[in-house]
Amino acid sequence: MKKVLITGATGFIGGNLVKANISKGNKVRALVLSNDPDEQKLKDSDVEIFHGDIREYDSVRKAASGMDIIFHCAAIVTDWAPWKLFREVTIGGIENVCKAAIDAGVSRLVDISTNDVFGTNERRMMDETLPLKPWGEPYPDSKIEAEKITWRYYNERKLPVTMVYPCWAFGPGDKTFVPLLADAIIKRELIFWRKDVLVWPTYIENLVDLLLLISEDERAVGNGYLVHDGESVTLQEFCKGIAETLGVKPVNTHIPYSAAYTGAVIMEALWKVLNIKTRPLLTTYTVKNLGSRLKFSIAKAERELGWKPKVPFKQGFAKTMEWLKTLDIEALKQK
């Protein structure tokens, strides 16, 4: 039995990690903000809730005390928030976690990054040998800065770190990817600005399976691993599957990429000038992200760890669609 701390435990990935570690027989502690509305979900499971803020070192140090493994999932996961928040939570948060991990003498820190950190080069297959490439966007760029801090602690303080780069994580309980696409499809707000955009889905069970493996496999120390379901699908095909599940017409509206990007620039500028708190319909990050044909390899995890995705994409998608049908579709329409 291992003693495990999970930051961001009320999120999609963190919540599934909580369940998986409990099922494995590990003793789980969750670092949770005192006003987190999703805390109740953790109270229904056998997990120790530790109230604290990732931005406050003393909170993180106390939460990490006595732990064997830390899964760091907490971050600002949006494309529309002040840079100050990204600096405090994503960048400052990992600094606190690394320091606390050193103090606690953990056997492993598993840091959840993103495939975005490798940039937007469509000319080659992306893998873990590539240098980190900024997008000029706060979400991926803050993840890059956070990763630099993590590797600094590995190199200078011998912190046993493993990095994970999930592609498009999805599955039952997803709070962003599938529900937001479903909402846009229902409301006929979804548009495409490039044909045959590639999505590399990462079913949550596959992601958690790799996370548990690398948290204890010594070969993973000092390494990072891309993860997805082993195949790509076009965004159009993914959205068509959602539309069929919901019993609505698939969206086939296309506009030029340049028009979408220009629209995003204008919207972002207006939102900032008018100090509008809600997210614009289009952002430059969304246009870049949902308009790319990037390619990612998971050969390293297969080669070094013998890991392969256990759940095929089609099976994971079917399970996710069954879950989607249990949601209040009328509520989605009101968003």
pLDDT tens figures, 91-117: 999 999 999 999 999 999 999 999 999
pLDDT band at 335 (very low <50, low <70, confident <90, very high): very low
Domain residues of the chain, as ranges?
3-169+202-229+294-311
As given in the structure block, the two tokens for residue 116 are 């975005």
Alpha-carbon span 306 to 289, nearest angstrom: 30
pLDDT at 333 over 80: no
**257-291: b (≥16 Cβ within 10 Å) or e:** eeebbebbeebbeebeeeeeeeebebbbbbbbbbb
Report the percent of the chain where pLDDT is more than 90: 88
Alpha-carbon span 246 to 310, nearest angstrom: 27
pLDDT at 321 over 80: yes
Whether 27 contacts 48, CB under 8 Å: yes
The whole-number pLDDT of residue 38 equals: 84
Structure pTM? 0.94
Give 3-169+202-229+294-311's CATH code, choosing from 3.30.420.40, 3.40.50.720, 3.40.50.261, 3.40.630.30. Answer: 3.40.50.720
- Over residues 220-255, the pLDDT tens digits come to 999 999 999 999 999 999 999 999 999 999 999 999
Would you give the DSSP letter of residue 124? S
The whole-number pLDDT of residue 246 equals: 93
